[in-house]
Amino acid sequence: MPPMKIKKHNFYAGPSILPQPVYDQAKAAIDDFAGTGVSLLSISHRSKEFTEVMEEARLLVRELLGLDEDFEVLFLQGGASMQFFLIPLNLLRTRAAYLDTGRWAARAIEEASYVGEVSVAASSKDGGYRYIPEDYEIPSDADYFHITTNNTIYGTQMHRIPDSPVPLVADMSSDIFSRVMDFNRFGLIYAGAQKNMGPAGTVMVAVRKSLLGKTGRRLAPMTDYAVHIAKKSMFNTPPVFAVYASMLTLRWVKEQGGVAAMEERNRRKSALLYEELDRNPLFRAFVEPPYRSMMNVTFDLTEPALRERFDRMWQEADIVGLKGHRSVGGYRASLYNALPLESVQVLVDVMRELERTA
């Protein structure tokens, strides 16, 4: 008898829901990885079988994003947060420009400030980060311009990628593989795995080779992207399990029809929820339409007295992860690639039921 699947509608902001085949295949690989008779947790990272996994993961990123030949793809450790520090080490010669659209953008700015001069082109901090600044100038003498394409905490997303006179660097941790873009407009793209790519424990960095080696800075090998590229992400022992599960997730994205199919799913899911938030008088969305994220939908009740009742209702509907970030309050429904439309429908049904019975 297979173990009973306890069905939860998982709206966590990350780590977050993954496709069911990823859970199933990861479990099978803990018993026997790729027919080796050895557990995935105990296989040498130098084995032919794991080397192929790393290679496939890198190729799938390249293929799904349509990256040109100048790009190299890395799977590293330390999360997007460590890249906040490594990116300026590798790319900042005199000055870098950043767009401050939220807590994580601000953290990227903070880490970069320990490396060199940082200028903030624009910030929406005064507005509680509930919008994306649109009128600003990107300094043409900056070494790069850093953006955060989706702001997990606030539920905002950049729907227009700015024309930049300098290389664009983008933290796409919470919306990578979720929508079609011309990814070749970027100089560096990075993303922690734990939203749309896999479990926590690895970070993907896609960087143009032509941008590296220009700062004049002597880099300790572990901080040098060129070293990790030369060693094919195996300069030190990679996070084997997280890379394998990420590769499985990327295979699933491809099988579903790639990034375009993900965008179609995500548009339907987010439209369903935002329409309900705009229609149902008991709810209000935190973010105005032009800046709304397809990935993280932030909202609250219009009548705080209903909180206890609403909380009980969605919990009884087997929904988890709906609590808003502590700095924003209210609710946040994260609608990452692997979340089915059915889960959003369950949430919307609860909201309608609350309205009907309030």
Nearer to its own copies, 78 or 139 (CB): 78
Tokens of 222: 């572990």
Choose, from 104, 143, 224, 314, the residue flagged as catalytic: 104
Verify whether residue 314 is a known catalytic residue: no
Four-residue CA torsion sign, 270, 272, 277, 282: negative
CB of 306 to its own copies, least distance (A): 24
Beta-carbon contacts of 345 under 8 Å, excluding residues fewer than 6 positions away, are 272
Burial category of 175 from C-beta neighbours within 10 Å (exposed 0-12, middle 13-18, buried 19 and up): buried
Q: Which is nearer to its own copies, 27 or 309 (CB)?
A: 27
Active site residue 231: no
Output 181 or 335, the one with its CB closest to its own copies: 335
Q: C-beta of 92: minimal distance to its own copies in Å?
A: 13
Q: Is 311 a catalytic residue?
A: no
* For its own copies, the closer CB: 220 or 305: 220
To its own copies, the closest distance from the beta carbon of 219 in angstroms equals 7
Considering only CA atoms, which of 180, 197, 193 is closest in space to residue 258? 180
- Asked if 61 contacts 67 with a C-beta cutoff of 8 angstroms, the reply is yes
Joined tokens for residue 51:
């080397």
Task: List C-alpha distances in Å: 14 to 33, 128, 174.
Answer: 26, 21, 8
Nearer to its own copies, 71 or 244 (CB): 244
Minimum distance, C-beta of residue 163 to its own copies, in the bound complex (Å): 31
Q: To the nearest whole angstrom, how small is the minimum distance from the Cβ of residue 357 to its own copies?
A: 26
Which residues have C-beta within 8 Å of that of residue 343, sequence separation ≥ 6?
A: 9, 10, 11, 319
For its own copies, the closer CB: 6 or 305? 6
Q: Which neighbouring-strand residues pair with 170?
A: 147, 189
In angstroms, the CA 146 to CA 103 distance is 14
Residue showing tokens 């349509």: 66
Place of tokens 């901090």: 125
Question: Minimal distance in Å, beta carbon 334 to its own copies?
Answer: 10
The closest of 273, 246, 284, 281 to 334, measured between CA atoms, is 273
Which member of 195, 224, 300, 314 is catalytic? 195
Binding site for its own copies (CB under 8 A): 3, 5-8, 10, 12-18, 22-23, 26-28, 30-32, 36-39, 41-45, 77-82, 84-85, 107, 110-111, 114-115, 192, 194, 198-202, 218-223, 235-242, 245, 318, 320-321
Q: Among all residues, which ones are annotated catalytic?
A: 104, 171, 195
